[in-house]
Each structure stands twice: as structure tokens, then as C-alpha cells.
Amino acid sequence: MAPERRGLLIVVSAPSGAGKTTLCHEIAHAVSGLQYSISYTTRPPRSGEVDGRDYFFVMESEFMRMVRQDEFAEWAKVHNNLYGTHAGFLTRMMAGGTDVLLDVDVQGARLLKKRFPEGIFIFILPPSMEILMERLRDRRSDSQDEIERRFRVAREEIQNFKDYDYIIINDEIKKAVRDLEAVVLAERVRITHGDQDWIQKQFLGP
């Protein structure tokens, strides 16, 4: 019998407008055994977003109650809104052998790396800053001032790319999904200390 497998923690970050949320939804459907972790947020839903599918939309008072009760593995204020990842969900899924995919900003990724140093950290980039600006404008969900602020923050976030294990350029969504899928599948068969012990006993003897 092969050793019991603990689920992977796969953390994806990107500057606003790089397409990480779309990419994460696509890969969650493309790869079996991969659970997309839904974050809690205090920001209002955008057009087409559904509570419990895209985010758990909560009031700030409820969010801060969860903070006080230490329910989040990480939480941060991003673009004047609060976002958090529920710790209990992560531990339950991973303990049961399910890989968990998280879509978080660089602040959240930094906190998760301290708590889960074994995690896989992936940074999504746009093809260029010019295309990033086009994407921010094309969303038509923010004011011009907000677009310019997000663009400035994006430059600051990209400076953290060296903290990640993989970089994926989201030029064409289908290719980016294939690249992300390749990372997940490769990490699933990476040799761990538990694997080494099992192989030694199973095939090479004491």
C-alpha cells in the first residue's frame, strides 16, 4: 500500500487585472481532486458574482468577529476591503488528501508561507504593464482613480515575484491553464520524505 497522501496547498497570487481568479476557476474544473478555496471578503459583489461561489460576502463586523476568534489562516486589507482564508477549511481538506487552491494577494501569500512553508506558491503575470492597464479598463467596474490606484499597487506587488516558486504569464488563458495544470501534476508526484521511507521499505528492504 502506498503511503497516505496529504493534500497540497497551492497558492496563486497576481496583480489586480492579471486574471488569476479566472485562471483559478478554470484549473479547479480541469484537474480532479483540486478544491478551490473560497475567500471571505467585505467588498460588495461585482456583477455576476455569487455568494458562496466566488466569495463569501460578509459585513465588516462579521469579518472582524472571525478575526478575533482566530478563524483565518491569513487575512489582509486590500484595496480598502478585507479578505481572509478560513483556516479550518484548509486543514480539513489537506488532512483528507485533497489539494487546495487559493487565490490570494501577496500579503496573504506571505502569511501563508510562514504557516505552511511546504506550500506551492505561484505568481501570475500579465504579458506587459500596458496590457494590464487595458484589462483594468476593460472590466468597467472601477472609476478611473481606482484603476490608476490598482495599477500603481500592481507595480509594487510584482516586486514580490522572487518569493514564489513558479511564474506563469497569462497571455492566453488556455495556455496559462495548461501551465498551471503542469505545475499541479508535477508537484503531486514530487518525492517527499514519507515517499522515500515507503520506497525504501517496499522495494529495498530494511
Residue range of the domain that includes 32: 9-190
Average pLDDT over residues 36-47: 91
25, 53, 39, 47: which is closest to 81 by C-alpha? Answer: 39
**pTM for the full predicted model:** 0.85
What integer best gives the mean pLDDT of the chain? 90
Task: Tell me whether residue 172 is in a domain.
Answer: yes
Q: Give the C-alpha distances (Å, rounded to integers) separating 183 from 42, 76, 122, 177, 194.
A: 31, 27, 9, 10, 21
Task: Tell me whether residue 201 is in a domain.
Answer: no
Task: Tell me whether residue 126 is in a domain.
Answer: yes
Task: Tell me whether residue 85 is in a domain.
Answer: yes
Other beta carbons within 10 Å of 195: 14
Task: Tell me whether residue 206 is in a domain.
Answer: no
Per the structure, how many domains does the chain have?
Answer: 1
Strand partners for 125: 169
Residue 52, domain CATH:
3.40.50.300
Average pLDDT over residues 124-139: 90
Read off φ and ψ for residue 52, nearest 5 degrees: 90, -15
Amino acid at 179: D
- What per-residue confidence (pLDDT) applies to 3? 65
Contact 100, 9 (CB under 8 A): yes
Contact 157, 106 (CB under 8 A): yes
Task: Tell me whether residue 202 is in a domain.
Answer: no
For helices 173-188 and 20-30, give the axis angle rounded to 10 degrees: 60
Task: Tell me whether residue 114 is in a domain.
Answer: yes
Q: Which grid coordinates are listed for 3?
A: 503511503
First to last CA, the chain: 17
pLDDT above 90 (res 8)? yes
Task: Tell me whether residue 2 is in a domain.
Answer: no
Residue 2 pLDDT grade (very low, low, confident, very high; cuts 50, 70, 90)? low
Query: For the segment 157-195, what is each residue's pLDDT rounded down to a tens digit?
Result: 999 999 999 999 999 999 999 999 999 999 999 887 678
